[in-house]
Amino acid sequence: MDAPADGGPAADAAALWQLTLQHSPVGMALVDLAGRVTLVNPAFAEMLGRDADEVVGLHFAEVTHDEDLAEDTRYFQQALAGELDSYRLRKRYLRADGRPMWADLSVGVVRDDAGRLHHVLAQILDISEQHHAEQRLAAANAEIERERQSLDTVFETVGVGLLILDDEGRYVRMNRKHRETMNLPFPDGHAGAAGQLGHVYRLDGRTLLTREEMPSYRAARGEEFTDYRYWAGDDPLTRAAFTTTARQVRSPSGRRLGAVLAYQEITDLLRALEVKDQFVSSVSHELRTPLTAVLGHLEMLCEEDLPADVVQRLHVVRRNADRLRTLVSDLLLVAQAGEVGLEMHRLEVDLAMVVAEAVDSACPAAEAAGVSLAADLPDGLVARVDEQRVRQVVDNLLSNAVKYTEAGGSVRVVLRRVAGAVELRVADTGIGIAPNELCDVFDRFFRGGAAVEKHIPGTGLGLEVASSIAHAHGGTITVESELGRGSVFTLTLPI
Ligand code: ADP
């Protein structure tokens, strides 16, 4: 398009127009009433991947994607018919290499001085990038929606109660399972904020949880926990037991957004454990009476004047019956501890004496095993404890120390007063305990790999008994150990 040759403002405007046309990043084309391109700027030619000369003379249908042609044509016809002065649409052009190009097309009709239509002016913006970005966004949104739907389904169908709290402990959402169990602890309804008190009891089934002990309150205060157990429901016959786990939810920047709690019902498990403890307790009870009679008679028999080989066999029988009695009373004790808690008969006792006696009675076994046994005890150390049970703990720690130490090793016992408590340390240079087994040694029937490998006899009950007794006194037993180097068991009892 050439500028008019006569100078003046009109010529300037035409030159300016020509300049804009040449350099505009927006594609421009003049199309005649037959739909053929009569003029095109470099931007549009470039969009189509062609030279400007090639584009001139083409019908717009030749550079339009098949799927968008009908709409484009309809608008064009309406403009020709004078129904539209301008229109705008999103369409695909076809580039010379066959690839489509998404464009935002604005069309305006050009009329002569008499108002007759003689051209249309098309302006074309390449929006391929934008279109692809929109498509990616739409795909990402669809994916998020799919994910949300799946999570929703999982949330509602899992057999575990789920509760989501916001950062102030308000209930944001709970699933069907949790909703179903809410009226056990809260028969009069729940206000939707963590920490509401209800019929929620500790595992003893009697003590109500305080606000600070309620799982939702703990989670709302930022705590995380696993396997927190309690009973819910007023009526002991219909109440249910739950184990709860809480995790905090944080934003990527670490800000606390709230917490999620998972509630799993474990009524059957706890009832089964109760039944098992009752069963073990009554079986041990029933075994103890005849065993006591057997042992009594054996003892009497051993005093009789009998042939040496008979006495020898009687000793074997007695030793085994003794082991059986220890086993049975250990079983009875752990069953009782699990069932009703241990009954304690506390008196003022000189612990130094108790330990000294236990060391004396361990001496023969230590000697037989070639293990040296030394004790460092104060002159007197009085505490209010159940003497018989504490003696049982000390005996157990000493016999383990001797049993799990090889010939040539040593066992050292130290009793001392520490702040508000007494502390008994039993240290040995024995086989030690593997790091991954340390947390299991106090579990019922647990036996360490090294003990089993070396065929050292045992039942795996002694340390559970010892720790039940320590706990019943409000104390603890801890262990430090290194495989092949030895172990230190520390009993701490508050005074
Ligand atoms: P038991 O000695 O009858 O097996 P315990 O409950 O007393 O049962 O001990 C549990 C396990 O802990 C033992 O089987 C053993 O593996 C480990 N253990 C206990 N005391 C010691 C010790 N002093 N040294 C090494 N291992 C020990």
Is pLDDT above 90 for 275? Answer: no
- Please state, in angstroms and rounded to a whole number, the distance separating the CA atoms of residues 277 and 332: 9
**Probe target for ligand 1 pocket from 400, 405, 442, with the most ligand atoms within 8 Å of CB:** 400
Residue type, 288: R
What pLDDT was estimated at residue 86? 96
Q: Is 463 in the pocket of ligand 1 (CB under 6 A)?
A: yes
From 3.40.50.920, 3.20.20.70, 3.30.450.20, 3.40.920.10, which CATH number describes the 158-265 domain? 3.30.450.20
- Please state, in angstroms and rounded to a whole number, the distance separating the CA atoms of residues 108 and 121: 5
* Fold observed for domain 9-126: Beta-Lactamase (3.30.450)
Q: Read off the pLDDT band of 331 (50, 70, 90).
A: confident
In tens, the pLDDT along 144-188 reads 999 999 999 999 999 999 999 999 999 999 999 999 999 999 999
Q: Read off the pLDDT band of 6 (50, 70, 90).
A: low
Query: Ligand 1 centroid to 484 CA: how many Å?
Result: 14
pTM: 0.58
Burial of 337 (0-12, 13-18, 19+ CB in 10 A): buried
Query: Considering only CA atoms, which residue is closest to atom 25 of ligand 1?
Result: 432
Query: Considering only CA atoms, which residue is closest to atom 11 of ligand 1?
Result: 447
Query: Considering only CA atoms, which residue is closest to atom 2 of ligand 1?
Result: 458
From 3.50.50.60, 3.30.565.10, 3.20.20.140, 1.10.1370.40, which CATH number describes the 347-494 domain? 3.30.565.10
Q: What is the mean pLDDT of the chain?
A: 93
Q: Read off the pLDDT band of 333 (50, 70, 90).
A: confident
Considering the segment(s) 271-339 as one domain, its CATH architecture is: Orthogonal Bundle (1.10)
Instruction: Tell me if 9-126 shares its fold with 347-494.
Output: no
Give the other-Cβ count within 10 Å of 412's Cβ.
Answer: 17
Q: Is 486 in the pocket of ligand 1 (CB under 6 A)?
A: no
Q: Is 284 in the pocket of ligand 1 (CB under 6 A)?
A: no
> Where along the chain do its domains lie?
9-126, 158-265, 271-339, 347-494
Q: Is 466 in the pocket of ligand 1 (CB under 6 A)?
A: no
Burial of 470 (0-12, 13-18, 19+ CB in 10 A): buried
> Which residues make Cβ contacts (< 8 Å) with residue 338, sequence separation at least 6?
273, 277
The residue ranking higher by pLDDT, 305 or 104, is 104
Q: Read off the pLDDT band of 486 (50, 70, 90).
A: very high
Is pLDDT above 50 for 411? Answer: yes
Query: Considering only CA atoms, which residue is closest to atom 17 of ligand 1?
Result: 448
- Please state, in angstroms and rounded to a whole number, the distance separating the CA atoms of residues 369 and 346: 35
What pLDDT was estimated at residue 204? 85
What pLDDT was estimated at residue 4? 47
Segment 222-239 mean pLDDT: 94
Is pLDDT above 50 for 1? Answer: no
Q: Is 430 in the pocket of ligand 1 (CB under 6 A)?
A: yes
Q: Is 459 in the pocket of ligand 1 (CB under 6 A)?
A: yes
Q: Are 40 and 28 in contact (CB under 8 A)?
A: yes
What pLDDT was estimated at residue 282? 85
